[in-house]
Chain A
Amino acid sequence: MSSIWVPWSDRRKQYTGLRGRIVSCATAIYRIGAPLLKRFAPVVFFGTVIAAIVAIWLFAALVMPLLHKAGWLFVVRDVIIAVAVLGLVTVLAMYCIWWERKVAGRIQSRLGPMRTGGWHGWSQSLADGIKCITKEDTVPDDADHLLFRLAPYLAFVPPVCAFMALPFGSSWVFRDMDPGLLFLLSLLGLEIIGILVAGWASASKWTLLGAMRQGCQVISYEIPMGMALLVPIMCAGTLRLTAIGDIQSGGWFTWLAFRNPFTFVALFVYFIGSLASCKRAPFDLPEAESELVGGFHTEYSGFRWAVFFFGEYAAMFVVSAITTIVFLGAWHSPLPAEWGMALGEGWLADAARGVIFSGPLWFFYKCTWFIFTHMWLRWTLPRLRIDQVLYACVQVLLPLTMVLLLGNTVWELFNSPAHPAFAGFSTVVGYLMGLVGAVLLGGFLVIAGYGWWNRRRLVGRMTVQALPGA
């Protein structure tokens, strides 16, 4: 770089060649499409949803029978499903980004994005995405160029691959693997490498510090997470995710979280571990804006930064999905699934069963509830120091999980027909835990309802005022 001062307009990088053509195409599309989208936003949204449903139905109706004729077509089917998973992850991440800003706003007594796209700023993440794509692509001079470019994808790909093994319903799974849960855990552990490489390849001591803190934190919390997952797995007896879901089909008191007190505590231990694993507050030291500028992603701008955050939200979804499947009844509603048999036969009854009793909608609902809890905790709790983080992991959660494992082993050993007294006791405790869960949920609903009913009085008026100069 020259040491003579050159005006910024002359130093600004002009994209040439193929990149220039892509950028000018994207800008032209934006200039035409953005006003159209803003004008017809509800039509576009519902049209997309309906088109997606129709596409899935056509795919299932037309492509699947073809598979029985030519075996090699399953490669095509798998490629289509992989691309669809990628699209799902992207849409999910964009929705989560918007939702996070709205949740953050509401917790901080403000409204969040309100302007972009009209209704409650629904296209804020779309606008953010376009901004990220059109930003200048900076790579530090001292950075390891190949690894700097590779690192965001190393962090993004494992959570997306985890969607392969995630069951959204009893038969809504891409690959139902026997060690399915272990596969998911292994992919979540692969994310660390992307972030370590990002911190190293940025050639900056702050990014290196952030990356090492994150590696330390995620690795430490993998232990209580894995052991806390072992507790309900011991009750379920299998690592196959669809089988774990099928066990919990009898109503909310058969959910593995409410089976005995040890699994109930294991749910909370796993949830805390998942907060640390996704680097969410209060464990967001690797991204501490007030200390490390940006942590491991300080030197990343534009699309590479966006890829990191797509990976983070995908990992949040996967971790919430594991919590839901293993602890909270997967895709089943709180009502017992056998009550759904009373609805009868036919596709309408099947659809009603899917909506009311067990189906992917319930799975999505519970996953998003956990994601909401992640966001809720992020904007409520202050950040922990690194020594507090490690203290919590090694001196609190680890002994706690060992106690839980021991207790659960003893409980499950005696909870067999050979010990009828204990079996009766454990059934009673199971129902009691279910009652505890219902009471907690009821309490949450009551408090949330009270807050919503009296929101004007509690918070005051939140108005959308015109910006100065508008």
Chain B
Amino acid sequence: MAESTGLTMTLLASAQGGAGLAESLCFWVLAIGALAGAVGVVISKEIIRTAMCLLATLVAMAGLYFLLGGYFLGAVQLIVYAGGTLVLIVFGVMLTARSPKVSFEPRWFEMAAGAVICAVLLATLLHVVLRTTWPGEAGDVPDATVAAIGQQFLGDYLVPFEAASILLLVVMIGAAFLARPVRRNRRRSQRDA
């Protein structure tokens, strides 16, 4: 049962029999999951259902990162995005909801205009993607061990790493300040009711 990830990915990436089938099957399942989640985000009427569809998309994307050989990235996506940002979004929903049944529906011409614009954008992007011959050939899965990523962070990418940490500090202080509880109508004593 000792299957190192390298062996698995070699099995998946090589042209052995049905091994490439497994990779494409995983891709299609995850891609359809991500698309279903994204479509659910657009068409769901209640905000908490939108958040759950986003969860489906995020988990499917994490699966796609695992498939592409980014194991560390997939784990980071699950921790930060699904376990952090999404929880923040759900907390935001809970703090700002009047009632679970109140939802804001867009008017029909807004939906139509949005759909037209996005269809045009999608057509352009797909045209570019499908007609271009992309350089480079698919090699093996990159050797994205945690050690290699760590060395890059402290080597080539040191400045963005430090800048990101300062940014996170600033954002933390700013968000804590912005969301501080503001007391209105403070009663100085029990007499001024």
A residues bordering B, Cβ < 8 Å? 60, 70-72, 74-75, 81, 142, 144, 146-147, 150, 170-179, 182-183, 185-187, 189-190, 192-193, 196-197, 200-201, 203, 208, 212, 215, 219, 238-239
Contacts and interface: CB of A to CB of B under 8 A. Distances in A.
Main secondary structure of the interface of A (DSSP, over half): helix
Contacts of A183: 71, 74-75, 78
A266 to B, nearest CB: 20
Interface string B57-96: 0000000000000011011101100111011001101100
B18 A72 contact: yes
- Interface SS, B side: helix
Interface stretch (B45-53, B110-118, B153-161, B180-188): B45-53
Contact of B5 (A75, A81, A178, A212): A178
Given A190-B78, A197-B90, A203-B100, A182 B49 contact: no
Contact of A186 (B18, B75, B87, B91): B75
B83 A71 contact: no
For the complex of A and B, list the 8 residue pairs with the smallest distance between their C-beta atoms, beginning with the closest: A189-B83, A186-B78, A72-B18, A171-B2, A186-B79, A182-B75, A179-B72, A71-B19
B32 interface: no
A194 to B, nearest CB: 10
Contacts of A60: 1
Given A147-B49, A200-B100, A208 B94 contact: yes
Given A175-B3, A200-B48, 11 more contacts: A70-B17, A144-B100, A173-B2, A175-B5, A176-B4, A185-B75, A186-B82, A193-B90, A196-B94, A200-B94, A212-B94
A338 B75 CA distance: 35
Contacts of B91: 196, 212, 215
Contacts of A178: 5, 71-72, 144-146
A190 B82 contact: yes
Contacts of A174: 1, 3
B5 A176 contact: yes
Contacts of B86: 193
Nearest to A192: B87
A75 B1 CA distance: 13
16 contacts: A71-B19, A142-B100, A144-B100, A147-B52, A171-B2, A172-B1, A176-B5, A182-B75, A186-B75, A186-B76, A186-B79, A186-B82, A189-B79, A193-B90, A201-B48, A212-B94
Given A215-B87, A239-B146, A75 B22 contact: yes
Contacts of A193: 55, 82-83, 86-87, 90
A192 B91 CA distance: 11
Contacts of A185: 75, 79
Contacts of A71: 11, 16-19
Residue in A142, A186, A193, A197 with the greatest tally of chain B CB atoms within 10 Å = A186
A170 B1 CA distance: 10
B170 to A, nearest CB: 18
A209 to B, nearest CB: 10
Contacts of A150: 52
Contacts of B52: 147, 150, 197
A190 B48 contact: no
B21 interface: yes
A75 B17 CA distance: 13
A185 B93 CA distance: 25
A234 to B, nearest CB: 12
A249 B83 CA distance: 34
Contacts of A179: 71-72, 75, 146
Contact of B49 (A144, A208, A239): A144
A391 B150 CA distance: 33
Contacts of B22: 72, 74-75
Contacts of A200: 48, 90, 93-94, 100
Given A178-B72, A192-B83, A171 B1 contact: yes
Contacts of A70: 17-18
A173 B82 CA distance: 25
B46 A72 contact: no
A177 B19 contact: no
Contacts of A146: 49
A36 B2 CA distance: 40
B78 A189 contact: yes
